[in-house]
């Protein structure tokens, strides 16, 4: 499980960093979103993902014989908060990039005024 999580975090950070360094505005915004996603997966991994027991998840375990794996509820709350913030920031970034496109008439960051 941790290998999968680590690989996911690594891949997301790679993609995010790559996109952040593009000249095209939309890619930068997608890069911002990808980097944020990477930190969310990382946060979940930091809380630990364990085999669930009947004590740990009584409701989920009551439906069917399988007990699912569970993540630390504290980091789930943190990630939830961070997702909301990231959602707002990404929306603002999209609005700003549209506005910047209107003002500068280009999606290419290098053609902007200094």
Partner 1 sequence: MSGLVIAPLLVVLVTAVLALALGRRPRVQRAASVAGVAAYAAVVSAVVWAVVLGPDAPGAAAYQLGGWPAPFGITLVLDGLSAFMLTITAVVGLASMLFSVRYVSAENQRVYYHPLFHLLTVGVTGAFLTGDLFNLFVWFEVMLIVSYVFVAFYGTDYATAASFRYLVLNVFGSALMLVAIGGLYATTGTLNMADMARRLAEPAAYGVDPAPAVGLAALLLAVFALKAGLVPFQFWVPAAYTAAPPPVTAMFAGVTKKVGMYAIVRLYFTVFAGAPVGIDVPGVPGGSPLAFLAPVLAAMGVASILVGGFGAVGQDRLERVFAYSSVGQVGFIAVAVAVAAAATGPLRGVAIAAALVFALHHSLAKGLLFLGAAAVKDATGTDSLPDLGGVAGRSPVLSSAVFVGLLSLVGLPPLTGFFGKLLTFDAAARGLATDARALSALALAALLLGAVLTILYTTRVWARGFWGLETPAVEVATVDTGQVAVVAALAVMVVLVGVGFDPVYRFAETAASAAVDSEAYVDVVGLDGGGSA
Q: Is 81 an interacting residue with respect to partner 1 (CB under 8 A)?
A: yes
Q: Is 104 an interacting residue with respect to partner 1 (CB under 8 A)?
A: yes
* Shortest Å, Cβ 90 to partner 1: 8
* Shortest Å, Cβ 6 to partner 1: 13
CA torsion sign for 54, 60, 63, 69 is negative
- Please select the residue that binds partner 1; options are 74, 80, 87, 108, rule is CB under 8 A: 74
Alpha-carbon distances, residue 84 vs 38, 91, 92 (angstroms) = 15, 11, 12
HSE value, Cβ hemisphere, 13 Å, CA-based, for 44: 23
56 close to 70: Cβ distance less than 8 angstroms = yes
Task: Please report, as ranges, the residues that interact with partner 1 according to CB under 8 A.
Answer: 20, 25, 28, 32, 35-36, 38-40, 42-43, 45-48, 74-75, 78, 81-82, 85-86, 88-89, 92-93, 96-97, 99-100, 103-104, 112-114
């Amino acid at each position: 499980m941790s290998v999968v999580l680590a690989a996911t975090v690594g891949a997301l950070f790679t993609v995010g960093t790559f996109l952040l360094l593009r000249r095209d505005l939309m890619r930068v915004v997608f890069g911002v979103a990808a980097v944020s996603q990477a930190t969310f997966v990382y946060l979940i991994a930091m809380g630990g993902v364990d085999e669930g027991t009947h004590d740990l998840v009584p409701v989920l375990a009551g439906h069917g014989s399988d007990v699912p794996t569970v993540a630390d509820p504290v980091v789930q709350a943190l990630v939830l908060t961070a997702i909301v913030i990231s959602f707002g920031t990404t929306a603002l970034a999209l609005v700003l990039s549209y506005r910047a496109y209107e003002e500068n008439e280009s999606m290419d960051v290098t053609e902007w005024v200094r």
